[in-house]
Structure 1
Amino acid sequence: YAAMYHPWIQVYDRVAKKPTFIPPSGAVMGVYSRTDVSRGVHKAPANETIACTGLSVNYTTGEQDILNPAGVNLIRALPGQGIRIWGARTASSNSAFKYINVRRLFIFVEQSIRVSTNWVVFEPNNSSLWARVQMTVSSFLESLFRAGMLAGETPAEAYYVNIGTSTMSQDDIMNGRLICEIGIAPSRPAEFVIFRVTQFTAGAGGEAAAE
């Protein structure tokens, strides 16, 4: 994904011994990291202070109202609040991934599931394996739900996991393709954004399958 930030920020150049303006990207990445550690990847990296001494442009609220819907995340000097990132939108045209924290949450979830299920490569692709994978993935998503990273009052409103003949054809099973369908609700209860994770197993016959 991509995200746009403006304006450039002012910092003190220790070599030139004077203030200078630089792109905000490095400082923004620092805010991402700080937010991940303090709140979690599901928290939007917005309304967060940024380490700088000034801005190349001071935007108004009216300009904010025009630029933010267009996907430009402004950095603003707010009276009594310091200099803050005042937006968390991606440049994506996909409404499901309009916000940075939602996109990053999905990246985190997908990568975590791939890593936690890579052991299936030497297992036969059968109902016993499907049950074990469903338990592994569900336990992980349950931990995210308990940590407040998913929307909903109950696990059923926050996520679901499907794996079996509804997600795989007989050809998939015979050729060792293990396909798991996952839905998570990042913003509103039971409004799932769905994705699939595919792993390769030893196949129905017990021999290692190659991609």
Structure 2
Amino acid sequence: MRVLIAAARVGSLPARGALDAFAAGWRSGNPDALLDLAVCSSGAHDLLDAVEAVHGGSREVETVVAADGEHEHPVVVLLVAGTAYVQAGDVLDPPLARATTAWTGTSYGVGQIVARAADAGVRRVVVGAGDAATLDLGAGLLAALADAPPGPFDPATALDRLPAWLTTARARLRATELVLAAGTAASVRGLRGA
């Protein structure tokens, strides 16, 4: 018997851990079954594992500004045939002891990864998104693409600078396609916007 088992993250257990548990359970009842294990992702978690399982690639570690706008932390980026994949949650929701709320955080680190990829000639950047604790409507991402200094999201000052940041970001990304991978079509309204 051949069985396909596909799993995504279950609570805080990554997809690979969930697959191992499901496979162990299946093998205890049918040790002769051939199991094909597939990592699934909505884009929020396990995106790199899902893409790497199908397409291979190489992983690199980038140090970026954390969601608090003050500290730096490492983030893994997967490179596959001219495309860079990053999980925004790894930047926006790192396992840091520092508390960052939706309104004080920044997406600057995501913008740093996109900018570095574009500057290195990467043709396509896929940003896996989910329900992040940081909600700055992409202002931090645009600030990084415009080489503005990092910092927490401040609507009072960011709104005046957005047009210039957007112009610079468009110019910087003219040869790079930016793709949002999300499991839902969330709007920018409310605390669950994308």
The alignment's TM-score, normalised by the length of structure 2, stands at: 0.26
Q: Which structure has the larger Rg?
A: 1
The alignment's TM-score, normalised by the length of structure 1, stands at: 0.25
Structure number with the bigger relative contact order (C-alpha 8 A, sep ≥ 6) is 2
